[in-house]
Copies of this chain bind each other. A is one copy, B any other.
């Protein structure tokens, strides 16, 4: 008997552009002075769509309009995403402009406006130049294409302070057929408490019901985007949208699909961290021997979000007390008598606070570009991993002069 699904994943180039049935483009619409600022994603067939959006009480207009569309229409056909303007805190006009954008795309592509997801990222409080969006959409429709180049352009068009476009794609096999999951994303900066904006668009050619897709997105999100960002502290525009050719009767997802979906989400999340504003180093925090996954996650998040941990990493200062203090501040029922700490796999601090590496040795462990810290809680079997970066002087420079 042959397994109907292979768990082998094949990494692909081209992100969203590698997904059959997806065409996209990234153009310069003139919202920003020079760079690409408008992405259009079009699906050849009606799509199931699931989303995870910011829990911030101040939600940008495109989020509200897209949520309304998801209620109105069972399937989606396109995404319009601009950078350079968040269309947040723009009142009724903002919603009007977001609806206009969806209508423009729908008219050009002959869909219903409710089949269009709209998203924006950039400065809060300025109005979206819908006339420029219109001209940009006309150009984008003419350029729609599949493949890596189109996906790269689209990924570039949604960047704000990102230094590099972010794409990921994996193929998997199910019942001897090859399918693809691919995505593009934007986000850099610390993504920590009320930091930066992240957006991701993930699609597959594996047909699914909306419920199955929502389940897969939720699970992937918990171990990827939510482990670089803190729930409830997201920005006004944060959103992840997932798309799959609609197939209402497929409510279960095969493990191979889950694997590919998780891999895309994780690659995109890690790319955001690696592109952290002013970041010089990456930090991977594994919390192991936790009582449950929630405990592990909340402690991992607290560590990657600590400014004191981040600045110590930047300075390569092996001040492990900051890691433990951040863990304790998570108030996740840590046992102060049981934890131990490892740096890049080496025992660093033993139970009871015993230093097992000399100051010089510990300093050396902080020198690599990627530092792996493991905090063993000594309480159980659960684990979680968080990804962060250091806090450099450049972070301050970038964010002190974001607009000016």
Q: How far is the CB of A402 from chain B (nearest CB, A)?
A: 6
A324 at the interface (CB under 8 A from B): yes
Q: Are B236 and A192 in contact (CB under 8 A)?
A: no
Q: How far is the CB of A226 from chain B (nearest CB, A)?
A: 15
Known interface pairs A194-B306, A236-B324, A317-B403; 14 further A-B residue pairs with C-beta atoms within 8 A, sorted by A's residue number: A57-B329, A57-B333, A58-B327, A58-B336, A59-B336, A124-B319, A125-B349, A194-B325, A232-B329, A235-B329, A236-B325, A312-B399, A317-B400, A395-B396
A178 at the interface (CB under 8 A from B): no
Restricting to A71-95, which residues have a CB under 8 Å from any CB of B? 86, 88-92, 94
Quick check: which of A133-141, A213-221, A240-248, A351-359 contacts chain B, the rest being far away? Answer: A351-359
A175 at the interface (CB under 8 A from B): no
A399 contact from B308, B320, B326, Cβ within 8 A:
B308
Q: Are A325 and B400 in contact (CB under 8 A)?
A: no
A232: B residues at CB distance < 8 A: 329, 331
**Residues of A near any B CB (own CB < 8 A):** 55-59, 86, 88-92, 94, 123-125, 190, 192-196, 232-236, 302, 305-308, 311-312, 314-315, 317, 319-322, 324-334, 336-337, 349, 352-355, 391-393, 395-397, 399-404
Q: Using CB atoms, name the residue of chain B closest to A349.
A: B125
Q: What copy number does this chain have within its complex?
A: 2
Q: Using CB atoms, name the residue of chain B closest to A322.
A: B124
Q: How far is the CB of A306 from chain B (nearest CB, A)?
A: 5
A192: B residues at CB distance < 8 A: 307
Distance in angstroms between the alpha carbons of A77 and B320 in the assembled complex: 35
Q: Using CB atoms, name the residue of chain B closest to A355.
A: B125
Q: Which 5 A-B pairs have the closest CB atoms?
A: A124-B321, A315-B400, A58-B328, A91-B352, A311-B399
Distance in angstroms between the alpha carbons of A302 and B55 in the assembled complex: 14
